[in-house]
Chains A and B, each alone.
Chain A
Amino acid sequence: MSASDLQSAPSAQEAAPPRPAWQVLLIRPETMTLALLVLAVFAGAWLSPFFLDISYILRSFTLYAEFAIVALVLTMVIIAGEIDLSPAANMALSACVFAWLQQAGLPVPAAVAVGLAAGLAMGAFNGLMVIGLQLPSIIVTIGTLTLYRGLAQIIAGDKSIRVPEWFIGVDKIMVLGVPLPVVIFIVLALALGFLLSRTIVGRQIYQIGTNEVAARHAGIRSARIKFGLFLAVGLVSATAGMMTASRLGSVRYDLGLGGELQMVLMAMLGGTYIFGGRGTILGTFLAAWLLVLVSTGMIVANVLPAVQLVVLGILLVVSIIATNFIYSRTQR
């Protein structure tokens, strides 16, 4: 451009410093999660000496690790502007498929493979309904949540199916003193965190969630990416189902019942915006620990289950309000 030398008037372009770093940090949604997490650690330590025992915390975490693992992938789905409420039912159905097949005599590895394939198929079914038929994902997955759970009950009846002895106990396997499910959670968080923040696909997930029409105009294949995300949730849910089966030693149709709410709670506590476009893996990662600390803390302190729910609800509301308040302050 030839006119650059004409730009003699002092323009805002050079003069303007970027937004101060503390503000950038404050409006990051995970900041609130981290603050609550630190608070929870102190409160817990005050309540019970167990809280200073890291291996106790890690063991408690294994009870939530399956949900936490799925919540990581679910976070990406929510950022892309969709939702999937069927993962817990998917966990149950794929675990039931697996357990039933191995009981019927199929070798365990083959049964696991079929179970995972079933999870993938469930994800594909969700994806087809949402992307192919353009139905709202919240409605589709409320439907499939019921459907998958119902199928699980048809397959397994209301008995529990035992799994072979050697298959039991993923949560007892230690890697450098850390239970395997926790290791899987941490590794997956690192991988997905990298995917979401450093790669083109991750970038495009945010763009789709922010403005899907604009994303399509920019040549972003939003249908493909969203379908991939539904597949990923399906596969990871099935894996989580197998892990739960291994931890419990037996499978029933009500495995993981109500887990979808825990998963959504983790994502939202971590600052993921329910309408898409905002959120991070780090946030969900921190929120999972927060949830575990608070839940076990309350169990240790003998808090009534009903009160526990109330506390979790308050946590969620506080973190959402605080994030939004700070965010809107900086906008005026």
Chain B
Amino acid sequence: MSEAGASPLLSARGTSKSFAGVEVLRNVDLDLMPGEIHALLGENGAGKSTFAKIIAGVHRPTRGTLQLGGTTVDVASPVVAQKLGITLIHQEPISFPDLSVAENLVLGRSDGAPLGRVPWAAINRDARRLIDLLGVRIDVTRPMRGLSIADQQMVEIARALASDSRLIIMDEPTAPLTPKEVETLFGIARRLRDEGRTIIFISHRLEEVRALCDRVTIFRDGNKIATEAIGKLSDADIIRLMIGRPLKEYMHKGKSQIGEVALEVEHLTLPGYFDDISFSVRKGEIVGLGGLVGAGRTDVARALFGVAPAASGSVRVGGRPVTITDPAQAIAEGLAFVPEDRAVAGIFRTLSVEQNISAAVPGQIAPRGVIRRGVEKALAQDAVKRLRIRLASLRQPIGELSGGNQQKAILARWLLTDPSVLILDEPTRGIDIGVKAEFYDMIGELAASGRAILLISSELPELLALCDRVLVMSEGRLTADIARAEATQEKIMSAAVPQVRGAAA
């Protein structure tokens, strides 16, 4: 331990966890100080979420002890954790979609008589105060269902604040947030730290860890590799500790032949979501679609793929006009779409990894309607190897995989369809740095082999590194079309930020 004098808030000793005989966490010792923000880093499947869930009582450790403020505690369930002042903000927000934001916020609070009247006014007032604290604008009487992922995440965070915890664990909280929301969150985190609370922060973004955290602990394959003050490690050190080898630099090859137009969109409009969108993507071209979360990028992608078709406008695929009103049609036209909200629109949580990977290619695994298990297994196995998906067995439910590995499986599903137009919506969300670099390579290769790629991303470095052209959307309109040579972070940002329009508007 580095800090002399101070005694840790929480010490974990020999924490180990096995799932069905597979050890995913091995003898982890960790001390968390009061008033520190402590980062957990590691590749997908390294065991970060598992460790967090053990502290929060979601999983029972197979071995090991936890001490909280000097006394040994048994965190037998999330309810016990809550009583001990430990709150976990899950990687996949799990809230009650049909309850209002306010109800979600007070859920599990046990003040008041069981049969007493529900003090709605007070609940809504408290909820509003909490949400205001976060500096976001959310109507607390609306049901959770209608909120964007970012807003749902904010509600989760507000819930943690409401519970007045000593230890708050945030598992990849920033993934769906805009830079501004991230700043707000960091402000809150710092304030909580200054009040003497402890925060565990899990993220794959090194720059965030640097900006926020005091110390980092690095996991690899279920082992704790190191715990250090953040200042003592360079990025290269961290990456080496995380993946056990230096990271290769992604270089945009720029070699792909840009061919004829593969996807052409004209005057696409869906009132209330996006307006008069026109652009085209050529074969071999990677076109970025930047902008702030909520600018309507996802809605355009969903319209193109037929999930929520546009009201007017025309789409041409490979030169032919098409009217796509259903994803099955889109797939038949050679489109593929990796959606941003993995839990809702991507995975079949309780079904096997294998089934999840093969879901979009029934024709390949069952030419005459009857599934050929061998073919399916071979396809899935190959995908697992190519994307280095970490799993115990292809028959395992996909919900048991770590977040990043689930994302890779969904990517694998769409790569199998061998699309001519690939639409990716925040595809690297939750993917570790090591895989990200390989994933960039893969996108480059896909483009080089003549596919048209539309990449929606909120990460500017990603857009700049990969794209031949960057389109920017703001408030449902296209505001810029920037060629690779001219693209800079500033240009993209200034087009993304909503402009105060003329007095007439």
Q: CB within 8 Å of B: which residues of A?
A: 1-4, 6-13, 15-20, 23, 198-201, 203-204, 206-207, 210-211, 213-221, 277-278, 330, 332
Q: Is the CB of A18 within 8 A of B393?
A: yes
Interface of B is mostly: loop
A19 to chain B, nearest CB (A): 4
Residues of B within 8 A of A1 (CB): 385-388, 438, 441-442
Q: Is the CB of A220 within 8 A of B344?
A: no
Q: Is the CB of B221 within 8 A of A16?
A: no
Q: Is the CB of A9 within 8 A of B221?
A: yes
Cα A199 to Cα B441 with chains together (Å)? 36
Q: Is the CB of A217 within 8 A of B22?
A: no
Q: Is the CB of A214 within 8 A of B347?
A: yes
| Interface size in chain B (residues, C-beta < 8 A) | 54
B231 to chain A, nearest CB (A): 27
Number of A-B contacts (CB under 8 A): 127
Q: Is the CB of B328 within 8 A of A16?
A: no
Q: Is the CB of A217 within 8 A of B371?
A: no
Cα A211 to Cα B398 with chains together (Å)? 13
Residues of B within 8 A of A219 (CB): 327-328, 330-331, 360
Instruction: Select A11's contact among B221, B331, B345, B442, beta carbons within 8 Å.
Output: B221
| Given the contacts A12-B24, A203-B355, A332-B59, A211 and B393 also touching, CB distance less than 8 Å | no
Q: Does B179 contact A (CB under 8 A)?
A: no
Q: Is the CB of B347 within 8 A of A17?
A: no
Q: Is the CB of B45 within 8 A of A6?
A: no
Q: Does B220 contact A (CB under 8 A)?
A: yes
Stretch at the interface among B66-74, B81-89, B193-201, B362-370: B362-370
Cα A222 to Cα B254 with chains together (Å)? 41
Q: Is the CB of B438 within 8 A of A12?
A: no
Q: Is the CB of B21 within 8 A of A214?
A: no
Q: Is the CB of A3 within 8 A of B347?
A: no
Residues of A within 8 A of B365 (CB): 200
Q: Is the CB of B393 within 8 A of A7?
A: no
Write the chain A residue with the least CB distance to B326: A221
Q: Does B178 contact A (CB under 8 A)?
A: no
Name 21 interchain pairs, CB-CB below 8 A, sorted by A.
A1-B387, A11-B390, A12-B45, A16-B393, A17-B21, A17-B393, A18-B392, A19-B21, A20-B21, A200-B362, A200-B366, A200-B370, A203-B371, A204-B362, A207-B348, A207-B351, A217-B327, A218-B327, A219-B327, A220-B328, A277-B351
Instruction: Select A216's contact among B222, B327, B442, beta carbons within 8 Å.
Output: B327
Residues of A within 8 A of B221 (CB): 9-12
Q: Does B359 contact A (CB under 8 A)?
A: yes
Residues of B within 8 A of A2 (CB): 441
Q: Does B337 contact A (CB under 8 A)?
A: yes
Residues of A within 8 A of B393 (CB): 16-19
Residues of B within 8 A of A221 (CB): 326, 328
When A and B form their complex, which 10 residue pairs have the shortest distance between CB atoms, in order from nearest?
A18-B393, A16-B392, A19-B20, A219-B331, A219-B328, A210-B348, A16-B22, A218-B359, A200-B362, A200-B366
A212 to chain B, nearest CB (A): 10
Write the chain B residue with the least CB distance to A15: B22
Cα A211 to Cα B356 with chains together (Å)? 11
Instruction: Select A210's contact among B339, B344, B349, beta carbons within 8 Å.
Output: B349
Q: Is the CB of B21 within 8 A of A12?
A: no
Cα A8 to Cα B221 with chains together (Å)? 12
A303 to chain B, nearest CB (A): 38
B369 to chain A, nearest CB (A): 5
Residues of B within 8 A of A214 (CB): 344-348
Cα A40 to Cα B384 with chains together (Å)? 45
Cα A3 to Cα B365 with chains together (Å)? 28
Cα A217 to Cα B365 with chains together (Å)? 18
Write the chain B residue with the least CB distance to A17: B21
Q: Is the CB of A16 within 8 A of B355?
A: no
Residues of B within 8 A of A218 (CB): 327, 359-360, 413
Cα A55 to Cα B481 with chains together (Å)? 79
A9, A207, A218: most-surrounded residue (chain B CB, <10 A)? A218
A332 to chain B, nearest CB (A): 6
Write the chain A residue with the least CB distance to B376: A203
